[in-house]
Structure 1
Amino acid sequence: MATGTTVTSGPARESALETRGIEPVPVAERGGRPGQLFWVWFAANISILGLPLGATLVAMGMTVWQAVVAAAVGSVGSFAIVGAISIAGRRGGAPGLTLSRATFGVRGNIGPTVVSLLSRLGWETVNTTTAAFTLLALATILLGTGPEAKQHPVLTIVAIAVFELLTVLVAGLGHAVLVAVQRWATWGFGALNIVVGGFLVATVDWTAVGAAMPAPVGVVIAGIGVIAAGTGIGWANASADMSRYQSPAVRAGALVTSAAAGAGVPLVLLISLGSLLAAGDPALADAGDPVAAIRAMLPTWMAVPYLIAAFGGLLLSNHLSVYSAGLTTLTLGIRIRRVYAVVVDVVVTFVGAIYFILVADGFYGPFIAFISALAVPITAWVGVFAVDLVRRHRFDPAALMDTGRTSAYWYRGGVAWRAFGAWALAIVAGYLFTTLGPSAAPWFVGPLAHTWPGENGLAWVITFVVAAGGYALLGGARPVPGVPLR
């Protein structure tokens, strides 16, 4: 048996410290509402990293108005997928990758779980590194220190440690505290973002914005794909982790709406602002450090609230990512308490951030390429899992926690080969259209990367279609003895 910390059934109200691991939440303790998830997804997406996405759309040749359309369709649409996947959490009361054992088999699920964990750790390292640079920039203003991190290694390590400590305090305490913090912190950091955003809008070169020529429709479609891949798709495997405390009476449509609207509102605003800034200053799209590039556009008195807002947005995003990574770690069968799994994940990203800031010569380019590589197998998992949910409305709690031959989800050798085969085939198909690494010297170029879908970043769409279509053609979810689908 692979389990976290078992908790007996009790009242529906959660305590401040969540001691439950990955075992399904008893129905009596599921009293969550979709409004809670609205704030969770809103908070996770007020990160300043949304601005470079808008700059990327302008760099592709779009006007600001086309970028706004791409941002709205890409972010809202991809988070609608996140909301759809979260339906599994409401049905089964367990984290997404734990529920995935029913789809892939208790052994077949190891592959998607490892990929998901690596992706979460990757994004956490991006968040941590960016937040450390943010604090260092703040120290430059307030303390007069130099701007180079390698010249101040102790201060850099302190900056990383502060971010990680604030992360583990919330993610370690668990679901109830995370939901509360995400809601109330959103108001504070959201207000700062509005103030800073209003100032940045006043600096926009509106003549350049109005003079831009529209890009072809194909470019806009590609931009939608870029936004979807960079926003909602990356969160899909964490969605059920938050919805497992939702009341069984909550409607599926409410879950979809809470995710699409909760993430869509801040993302559309931030991506649109990024496109406005880039239309007036194209250099923003090529900036290696987006925080520093935007900081340079601000006077000192406005840079302080900007950096605080940037730090807060990264922290709120990291809360959710680390919480999910802890549950994913337990799903691999590691027998420790959930809070310790959170600490382990934070230690990994702490070491990673130190290396990439103080040792390595570059960070964002190589690491984003690594995360982009993982986006293909994650998208393949989303496609298979989404089709599985069409027929699977019930999960066996005992079978989810049993990783031995006695599990109802053992299938053949611990693998549900139809699901695993569709997942593997979709990964191969996706990489055929994928280019990884810097454009000048890519690390990997798929045989079909120079076709229109490949050049326009639509490999993830092909991956999803092959995964979902392949699994559907093979019959999707099928009942096993003693475990009905409905």
Structure 2
Amino acid sequence: MTTLQNGSTPSGVVVREGEYGTKITTVEPGGVGFIPLTERHGRPLNLLWTWASPNLEFATVFLGVLAVAAFGLSFWQAVAAIVLGTGLGAVAHGVLSARGPAHGVAQMVLGRVPFGFRGNILPASLNTVAGGIGWFAVNSVSATLALNTLTGLPKPLCLAVVVGAQVAIAFFGHNLVHAFERYAFPVLAVVFGVVTVIILAKADFGAPGAADGGGVGGFLIALAASFGYAAGWNPYAADYTRYLPRDTDRRAVGLFAGLGVFVGCTVLQIVGAASVTIGGKALEDPTGAFTGHLPSLIGDLTLLAITLGAVGANAINIYSGSMSFVTLGIRLPLPSNVQRAMVALVFGVVGLVVAYFGLDDAGHDYETFLLIIAYWIGPWLGVVLVDLYLRRGRPIDHLLFDPRHRNRAGPIAMAAGVVLSVWLFSNQEKYVGPVPDRFGSVGDITFEAGFLISAGLYLALRPLRRAR
């Protein structure tokens, strides 16, 4: 990569080398450098299906199932938690996505401003593991189970097919990811639209929640899970808007990106919650119980859509996970223009292994993963959004590639937010914090507490927020 200083490129910014344009069958060149203005293309409307398609999958449905079957909420309580939690995550996603066209870099590169060039290793590392391996493994399992049910093929073979498709898309990069989500969207929208009508027609909206669950605690857990699911895309936001022309309307970018996340997540989570009121073994056999409510042909099409949706979700997870890894600055013995692509391939192999060992207890593993994924994203968001507010109107491009840039307030505030919120408020199977242990009705408010703690600390640590 080279550093250019001219009228069309921000001073001191590292520019991504290579020609890419709009080609979808060419491996995306370069790494995390600034996207040259001559390479910019696309329009904000594309973000609607880019972010709706990866959420039209069974992982989204199962989150709604958990709200009723595991957290004990009634259908309407679940709807309230889903809409509020997803709405918060979608708004944050829109705000972060809107920054892509102006700065032309990935989301984790923008994170160098509030966390410092080296301090950004903390969130970038977590995002690498959570996205490139964690989410990848979880979604691969749901796609594998759907494909296994549909075809009767052995689960390991189904897993290999699913992972192969996901890795291939992420390997080629940005343009192919966008293209796949665009062409998958109408198929997924039609199938899940029909499913939505059928499930809602059969649902018992007046069914009460579990006698031993629900309440404020169950609502807060469902809220946190819905937020964590939607906000799980936040660390990827600018990755998919940095190629848009610099003069693109920021409001349109934020609107379509946030709307894609909100609609995709909300509709299918509500469908999942409604499906539990019909009956069936929702937690023991999630996929089978859900498709069992559907006519045979629609059920088969749904299994196919579940597989397709999971592939779309994981193409994004692997691509952005590899972008986060490259942001760490770890030098590999490979040409710079193929490092990101090769990292995506490695993540696919690692995720394949992790997913294989999660096939036998998918429901429980997924529930646990969903409930802890927001633990680091809440504090990260607290720092990022407060810094964005404090720096509004001020130039930041000169800080993005300057290794001398230090901002100790960011990593300190985030680390403190994660540790304190988990210690005090976590309410999980393997650890219960002192607050929920004493006040059981509180539920799990770890993500809310982590966000507030980190945001407050970042404001308080003003003397540490300076660049050298």
Q: Same fold (TM over 0.5)?
A: yes
Amino acid at match of 1:123: W
User: Which position in structure 2 is the counterpart of 1:179?
Assistant: 178
Q: Is structure 2 residue 387 aligned with structure 1 residue 400?
A: no
Partner secondary structure for residue 111 of structure 2 = helix
Give the structure 1 partner of residue 306 of structure 2.
310
Change (3 A) 1:77 1:477: farther
The answer as to whether partners of 1:119 and 1:371 remain within 8 angstroms in 2 is no
Displacement of 1:454 in angstroms is 8.0
Match of 2:140 among 120, 128, 132: 128
Q: How far has the Cα of 1:83 moved from its partner?
A: 1.4
Deviation at 1:457, TM superposition (A): 2.4
Q: Does 1:29 align with 2:28?
A: no
The one-letter code sitting in structure 2 at the alignment partner of 1:329 is F
Q: Who is 1:475 aligned against?
A: 462
1:464 to 448, 451, 456: 451
Matched residue, 1:281: 279
Provide the TM-score with structure 2 as the length reference: 0.85
Correspondence 1:422 to 2:437: no
Corresponding letter in the other structure for 1:278 = V
Q: Measure, in 2, the Cα distance between the counterparts of 1:476 and 1:262.
A: 39
Give, in whole Å, the separation in 2 of the partners of 1:113 and 1:434: 24
TM-score by length of 1: 0.82
* Partner secondary structure for residue 31 of structure 1: coil
Q: Is the 8 A contact 1:432 1:449 kept in 2?
A: no
CA contact (8 A) 1:50 1:270 kept: yes
1:301 matches 2:297: yes
Question: Does the residue aligned with 2:248 lie in a helix, a strand or coil?
Answer: coil
Within 1, Cα distance between the matches of 2:463 and 2:145? 46
Aligned amino acid, residue 181 of structure 1? F
Query: Structure 2 CA distance, aligned partners of 1:400 and 1:429?
Result: 29
**Change over 3 Å in CA distance of 1:6–1:26 after alignment to 2:** closer
Give 1:111's aligned residue: 122
- The equivalent of 2:226 in structure 1 is 227
Alpha-carbon separation, structure 2, partners of 1:223 and 1:191: 27
Percent of matched pairs sharing the same residue: 27
Mapped to 1, the partners of 2:275 and 2:460 lie a distance apart of 46
Alpha-carbon distance between aligned partners in 2 of 1:55 and 1:372, rounded to the nearest angstrom: 14
CA contact (8 A) 2:358 2:365 kept: no
1:14 is displaced (CA, Å) by 5.7
Change (3 A) 1:51 1:379: same
- Give the AA of the match of 2:307: F
SS in 1 for 2:33: coil
* 2:423 pairs with one of 410, 418, 432: 432
Q: How many angstroms apart in 1 are the aligned matches of 2:183 and 2:445?
A: 37
The answer to whether the Cα contact below 8 Å between 1:122 and 1:367 also exists between their aligned partners in 2 is no
Instruction: Tell me the amino acid that sits aligned with residue 400 of structure 2.
Output: L
SS of the residue aligned with 1:444? coil
Aligned equivalent of 2:318:
322
Task: Kindly state the Cα deviation for residue 453 of structure 1 after the two structures are TM-superposed.
Answer: 8.7
C-alpha spacing 1:465/1:435, structure 2 compared with 1 (3 Å): closer
What is the Cα deviation at residue 123 of structure 1? 0.9
One-letter amino acid of the counterpart of residue 164, structure 1: V
Which residue identity is paired with 2:151? A
Q: Report if the CA contact (8 A) 1:11-1:29 is conserved.
A: yes
* Aligned pair partner of 1:290 in 286, 289, 307: 286
Cα distance change of structure 1 residues 452 and 317 upon mapping to structure 2, 3 Å threshold? farther
1:75-129 Cα offsets, whole Å, 9 max, x none, are 1221111111223433321111122122212221112111111111111001111
**How far apart, in 2, do the equivalents of 1:460 and 1:351 lie?**
29
Trace 1:119-268 onto structure 2 (pairs within 5 A). Answer: 119-120=130-131, 121-140=133-152, 155-204=154-203, 206=204, 209-210=205-206, 212=208, 220=219, 223-229=222-228, 231-268=229-266
| Aligned residues: CA RMSD | 3.0
| Structure 1 residue 323: Cα displacement | 1.0
| Whole-angstrom CA distance in 1 between matches of 2:179 and 2:464 | 36
- 1:366-401: CA deviation from partner (whole Å, max 9, x where unpaired): 46435644531222111111112224453336x534
Q: 1:149: which partner in 2?
A: none
Where structure 1 has 5 or more consecutive residues not aligned to the other structure, the ranges are 146-154, 482-486
The 3 A distance-change label for structure 1 pair 156 and 225 is: closer
Alignment check: 8 A CA contact 2:24 2:179 kept: no
1:78 aligned residue: 89
